[in-house]
Structure 1
Amino acid sequence: MCKHILNAQVAIRSPCCKKWFDCAECHAEREDHALLQTTEMVFACKKCKKCFRKQLADWDDSDEYCPFCDNRFVLDAKTPSLALNVEGEDVRVDARMLKDERVKTDEQKTIWNIGDDVANKLG
């Protein structure tokens, strides 16, 4: 899986060492030689597992798909969206939004002061 191109659907065969890589940057990280430049690229579709050649000199938008299964070379990534929309500023930047500014009265019982009331009644 390529960490440089999100959702890469094809592998590219390098013309210099005849090894398969997901992108040119993956080749640069794993090999100690430069990638040989060529006008013809050999691809392998990760969906149908078939290989095919493409000429880079006459590349157009229809060449972004596998000729066998019509799978696109790179799928668009889906950006996750928030389930809730919270009004106000971002709390990671300013934490004042999280402060509880209510005033406690003696009548309010919390788990921290229940034991004090019991001790006072027994004591």
Structure 2
Amino acid sequence: MPQQGAVSRARVQRCALTPPEARLWVYLRGRRIAGLKFCRQHPVGPHVLDFYCAEAKLAVEVDGRQHSDADREGHDRLRSDWLAAQGIAVLRIPAEHVRTSLDGVLAWIETKAEERVRG
């Protein structure tokens, strides 16, 4: 169950997608990936996930340059570990890949989502 702070942050963040997140959202919404529903800025526990598919228990995180900072990498690792303990897999996608290799990114997301749904 999401914590109240995460729900409030999610509401704000839905209106403030980064350009790579907004670009990816165009392709994830409306069940365009393997017929699966993705939500944007979805709260899970204390965290807000960039994109989440409940059916596949799959989070998609678009990471900008700040995620390469050593402190941020540690935080991201702890966050991914916490999500894994909840049964949620995390795909971390560099924002630059959304800009330059969108077809490959979408294919990767679709493959991972289908694998998780099929079990």
**TM-score, normalised by the number of residues in structure 1:** 0.21
| Richer in strand (by share) | 2
| Richer in helix (by share) | 2
**TM-score, normalised by the number of residues in structure 2:** 0.22
Higher RCO structure (Cα 8 Å, ≥6 apart): 2
- Please say which structure displays the higher CA radius of gyration: 1
